[in-house]
A and B are shown apart, each in its own frame.
Chain A
Amino acid sequence: MDNIKARFLEEANDLIEDLEKALLELENNPEDKNQVEKVFRVMHTLKGTSAMFGFAKVGDLTHDLETIYDFIREGKAAVSSEILSITLESVDILKLLLNSDQALDHKDEEAYNRLTKEVVKLAEKIEGKPSDETEQEAAILEVESVKSYYILFRPQEKILVRGANPMYLLDDLNALGDCKISVHQTNVPSLDDIDPVLCYLYWDIYLATKENEQAIKDIFMFVEDDCILEIHKVSDGNILSNEKFIQKVEEIEGDVSVEDLKEFVKNLLQILKSKGNAEEKGGSATSKENGLGSIRVATDKLDHLMNMVSELITVQARLSLFAEKNPNPELDAIAENVEKISRQLRDNAFSICLIPFENLLTRFQRLVRDLSIELKKDILFLAEGRETELDKTIIENLADPLMHLIRNSLDHGIEDKEGRTKAGKPAQATITVKAFYSGNQVHIQVIDDGRGIDPVKIKKKAIEKGLVSDEAVLTDKECYQLIFLPGFSTAEKVTDVSGRGVGMDVVKRKILEIRGEVDIESKVDVGTTITIKLPLSLSIIDGLLVKVDNTHIVFPLFSVQKCYEVTRSQIASAFNNMIAVDGEQISFFSLREQFKIENNYPEILQLVTISHENQKVGLVVDTIIGEYQAVLKPLGKLYKQLDIMSGASILGDGTVALVMDTNKVIKEFSNKILI
């Protein structure tokens, strides 16, 4: 056996080499059917043989991969980068499994488990859900008790020509229990006319067996389409042991009428007073289904949906690129159509992932109620913009920070009853949580009518803590932002509730993680408003693709207003970074200057005006390529300091484009000038 196993490993490793080659080819040419065929064949072979040699894990993993590639080669699915990535990862695991004789170390074991799940998910995604629940139900049916069946087996004439032998089938039936078989020869023609290859017979079979209907069907598994097969349960228990039944059966001439037979059995049983069927449970439960206004959807289905939409948009970008490079009117029309539709699909898919803000409110209401009791403050909690919809990920990540802000406000912001009356305020304090759209952002505000934040006090505390130098000149806004520095707290006493101000820097960090901003506005003795600003969509944005030297950059289309042509000399001679366009003086920044890119400085440049905090600001780039749907890919932890870039996007030809957060960029460039 060892020789055979060694040979198997050799062949398997060869196959894996071929597989890898084919996959890498596919990356470059996803349309290459030959490669798909190759991949499929390898998966098929590995799946079929590995279990025999003790490589069950290999078999499991290749099983679903094979299904995936089968679909691809039938044209029911297309090669995608997701599929290729997962397949290539699987190849690595397969290599490990084969060469370590399936002895994986812990880390690899985890990778294997994760990968198998991903592959299964991927296969299901492609296949549509394979629900075999009905089979399971069937399996639960009565097991032990004996039942009697009448079976009509009427094979097609040509059955023998497929190598099947009805006698074997009858034998097998016989083996299941008590069996009585009678044959019909009525169809046998006269000797002259007989064609020896054909089967003219058919049979009535009465069978009493413990096995269920499925077991009977199994016997006929390979011929069920080549015959008339009827299986009728006639009674519980073994009716064949009853003489009268046998007598009746032997008397039947011609074909059996199932109704008659059943009628007969019923009567017989009644006469015998045997315990027949238990009353069948009355009817299916009437499930009251409320009108289908909405359905619950598992979040991983939503994630799949979003992934697929992202894939689609990436591929559509390639299609558009291809159409551009290969001018063909029909292709153009198709590419345009695809772009339109995928854009709509994207919007639709996003809206599916949106959840109304309301979902968070219950938590807040609870918090306010509990705290107001504990702190002995009378608080009215108001909410506005309940229907405002947010991406579910944002909502999940927002819950904690918001809770903390509310807690803070309740604890430190709102004065106790005495303090309020002294300040001439109503005894009942109000906390309002508001959510609304502003441009392509969502704003969430926590507004209280408490004591407000005193910038002087804040600054003082910050200086005490060494967070800021005492000579620093800070605007009120900047003072408020000091609250977010780690280690800050102006609370006179540390309460259990909000702790030592550990929370605020965490709050800000969490908000930054979802690419949001947090602003504070306040007036002493009047109240405080904290505004969280969040981008609406996390992963796909409409953008304007531009180029600076060799670098591709994407500006979020929302903020883009107009594009103008400018010359290098205009830029150079501009005073104070201002330039006149359309009769207006606006500030501008040249990306080349800011990023210090010197090469290939063209004479003619493009100025793109961006709306920024109600002002027009220009950004100068080399060329404008066009509109582009950017599937945002994260730049990763290494670049987390760099917040002028929201992420990257992969263009139709595989190049990486940088997605710029124009607001942050302009802020940063402006700050630089001040310094």
Chain B
Amino acid sequence: MSEEVATTQSYLSFKLGEEVFATNVSKVREILQLTKITNIPQAPSYMMGVINLRGIVLPVIDARDKFRLPLTETTVNTCIIVLNIEMDEDTLMLGIMVDSVLEVFDLSEEEIKPVPSIGSKYKSEFILGMVKKEEEFIILLDIDKVFSSDEISFVMEQTEDIATPPTN
């Protein structure tokens, strides 16, 4: 028995550098001010460390790093979005550091456009689609896939970069 799927869903948009991304609000637990992050040595660079969230130790990932975006300075707008991620049948709580949080908006399914496969900057398996809002393109992320993947980045290797990154 399937009920009518809500065709309109809410999304939270945020900025990484100049790019705007969005995720379904059902994945968002809360938004935090930037707080002291305890770095964990020997972890990959995009894993910034952990923070104390009301007694829970919450890992924080640098979303900008994962998207290979140039690391911008931390500003007063920089914050941490706490997400519920489904990974291997488990629900995981993690935080991602973003440059700023923009807004929550509703989208109906029809408004979501597929991402062009050619000339796309990001690997398509992580993207649910795109939408144009007020002259800006917003990339809708499949947040579960994005952050559970071990891949270092989602940037399409336009030119096959053979140089392998140095191991730790």
Binding site for B on A (CB under 8 A): 27, 81-82, 84-85, 88, 107, 314, 550-552, 591, 594-597, 633-639, 642, 644-645, 647-648, 650, 654-658
**A residues less than 8 Å from B90 (CB atoms):** 637
The answer to whether B79 has its CB under 8 Å from any CB of chain A is no
Having A635-B59, A657-B38, one finds 10 other A-B pairs with CB under 8 Å, namely A551-B41, A591-B41, A595-B41, A633-B56, A636-B94, A637-B87, A637-B92, A648-B57, A655-B38, A656-B51
Report A668 CB to chain B, min CB distance, Å.
9
The answer to whether A644 and B92 touch across the interface, beta carbons within 8 angstroms, is no
Kindly state the separation between the CA atoms of A88 and B51 in the bound complex, as whole angstroms. Answer: 18
Q: Which chain B residues border A314 with CB–CB below 8 Å?
A: 55
Within 8 A of A (CB), among B35-87: 36, 38-43, 47, 49-52, 54-59, 61, 87
| Assembled-state Cα–Cα distance A648/B49 (Å) | 11
B41 → A minimal CB distance (Å): 4
- Knowing A635-B59, A636-B59, A637-B90 touch, does A81 contact B42 (C-beta < 8 A)? no
Q: Once the chains are docked, how many angstroms separate the CA of A591 from the CA of B38?
A: 16
Known contacts A82-B55, A85-B55, A648-B57; A635 and B50 CB within 8 A of each other: yes
- Which residue of chain B lies nearest to A549 when distances are taken between CB atoms in the complex? B39
Pick the contact of B43 from A84, A637, A639 — CB < 8 Å? A639
The 10 A-B pairs of least Cβ separation, nearest first, read A595-B41, A81-B55, A656-B38, A648-B57, A633-B57, A638-B59, A656-B52, A85-B54, A650-B52, A656-B50
- Identify 9 residue pairs between A and B in the complex whose beta-carbon atoms are under 8 Å apart, listed by A's number: A314-B55, A596-B41, A636-B92, A637-B87, A637-B92, A639-B40, A639-B43, A647-B57, A648-B57
Once the chains bind, are A81 and B54 in contact (CB under 8 Å)?
yes
Closest to A595 in B: B41
Q: Which residues of B contact A634 (CB under 8 A)?
A: 57
Q: How far is the CB of B12 from chain A (nearest CB, A)?
A: 15
B54 touches A84 (CB 8 A): yes
* Distance between Cα atoms of A551 and B36 in the complex (Å): 11
Nearest CB on A from B40, distance (A):
6
Report chain B residues within 8 Å CB of A107. 26
Question: When chains A and B are docked, how far (Å) is the Cα of A657 from the Cα of B49?
Answer: 11
Question: Number of residues in B with C-beta < 8 Å to the partner?
Answer: 26
A658-B54 contact given A636-B92, A637-B92, A638-B47, CB 8 Å threshold:
no
Q: How far is the CA of A597 from the CA of B50 in the complex (A)?
A: 17
* Interface pair A597/B55, CB less than 8 Å apart: no
Most buried by B among A633, A635, A648, A657: A648
Bound CA span A550–B57, Å: 17
| Interface hub of A636, A655, A657 (most chain B Cβ within 10 A) | A636
Chain B residues within an 8 Å CB radius of A595: 41-42
Instruction: Please give, as numbers and ranges, the residues of chain A lying within 8 Å of B87 by CB-CB distance.
Output: 637
How far apart sit A656 and B10, CA to CA, in the bound complex (Å)? Answer: 34
Question: In the complex, how many angstroms separate the beta carbon of A552 from the nearest chain B beta carbon?
Answer: 7
Task: Report which B residues bind A (CB closer than 8 A).
Answer: 26, 36, 38-43, 47, 49-52, 54-59, 61, 87-88, 90, 92-94
Does the CB pair B43–A642 fall under 8 Å?
yes
Q: Which residues of A lie under 8 Å from residue B43 when comparing CB positions?
A: 639, 642
- Chain A residue at minimal CB-CB distance from B49: A656
By the criterion CB–CB under 8 Å, are A650 and B42 in contact?
no
A84 to B92, CA, bound (A): 21
CB nearest neighbor in A for B92 = A637
B52, A654: Cβ atoms under 8 Å?
A: yes
Q: Which chain B residue lies CB-closest to A591? A: B41
Query: Which residues in A have their C-beta under 8 angstroms from that of B36?
Result: 655-656
| A residues in contact with B40, CB < 8 Å | 635, 639, 642, 645, 658
**Which one, B42, B52, B57, contacts A642 given CB within 8 A?**
B42
Closest to A632 in B: B57
Residues of B within 8 A of A597 (CB): 41
A209, B58: Cα distance in complex, Å: 65
CA distance A552 to B40 in the complex (A): 10
When distances are taken between beta carbons in the complex, the residues of chain A under 8 Å from B58 are 636
Q: How far is the CA of A584 from the CA of B55 in the complex (A)?
A: 43
CA of A636 to CA of B49 in the docked complex: distance in angstroms? Answer: 12
Min CB distance A639 to B, Å, is 7
Most buried by B among A594, A595, A656, A658: A656
B54 contact set on A, CB distance < 8 A: 27, 81, 84-85, 88
Q: Closest B-chain residue to A82, C-beta based?
A: B55
Taking CB as reference atom, which chain B residue is nearest A647?
B57
Q: Which residue of A lies closest to B39 (CB)?
A: A551
- Taking the closest CB of chain B, its distance from the CB of A619, in whole angstroms, is 13
- From A550, A596, A650, A655, name the one whose CB has the most chain B CB atoms within 10 angstroms: A650
Q: Compute how far the CA of A658 lies from the CA of B90 in the bound complex, rounded to whole angstroms.
A: 24
Query: Are B57 and A650 within 8 A (Cβ)?
Result: yes
Q: Establish whether residues A638 and B56, one from each chain, have CB atoms under 8 Å apart when the complex forms.
A: no
B64 CB → nearest A CB, Å = 17
Among B36, B54, B58, B59, max chain A CB count under 10 A is at: B54
Q: Nearest chain A CB to B66's CB is how many angstroms away?
A: 12
The answer for the CA separation of A639 and B52 in the assembled complex, in Å, is: 16
Please give the distance in Å from B46's CB to the nearest CB on chain A: 11
How distant is the Cα of A214 from the Cα of B90 in the complex, in angstroms?
Answer: 52
Inter-chain contact A650/B59, CB cutoff 8 Å: no
- Bound Cα distance A595, B40 (Å): 9
Instruction: Please report the C-alpha to C-alpha distance between residue A535 and residue B92 in the assembled complex, in whole angstroms.
Output: 25
Minimum distance in angstroms from B30 CB to a CB of chain A: 9
Residues of A near B51 (CB, < 8 A) are 656
Chain B residues positioned under 8 Å from A654 (CB to CB): 52
The reply to whether A551 and B56 form a contact with Cβ atoms under 8 Å apart is: no
CA distance A405 to B55 in the complex (A): 38
Instruction: Kindly list chain A residues whose C-beta atoms are within 8 Å of the C-beta of B57.
Output: 633-636, 647-648, 650, 656
**Beta-carbon contact of B52 and A655 below 8 Å:** yes
Chain B residue at minimal CB-CB distance from A24 = B54
Residues of A within 8 A of B42 (CB): 595, 642, 644
Contact B92 A638 (CB under 8 A): yes
> In the complex, how many angstroms separate the beta carbon of B84 from the nearest chain A beta carbon?
10
Q: Is the CB of A552 within 8 A of B94?
A: no
Interchain CA distance A393-B54 in the complex, whole Å: 25
Task: Note all chain B residues with C-beta closer than 8 A to A638.
Answer: 47, 59, 61, 92, 94
> Which residues on B sit within 8 Å (CB–CB) of A550?
39
Q: Whole-angstrom distance between the alpha carbons of A107 and B29 in the complex?
A: 14
Please measure, in the bound complex, the distance between the C-alpha atom of A352 and the C-alpha atom of B49, giving whole angstroms: 35
> Which B residues are CB-close (under 8 A) to A591?
41
Residue of B nearest to A654 (CB): B52
Residue from B36, B38, B49, B58 having most chain A Cβ neighbours under 10 A = B38
Docked complex Cα distance between A125 and B28 (Å): 31
Contact A648 B92 (CB under 8 A): no
Query: How far, in angstroms, from A655 to B52 measured CA to CA in the complex?
Result: 7
Report Cα–Cα, A81/B51, bound state, in Å.
Answer: 15
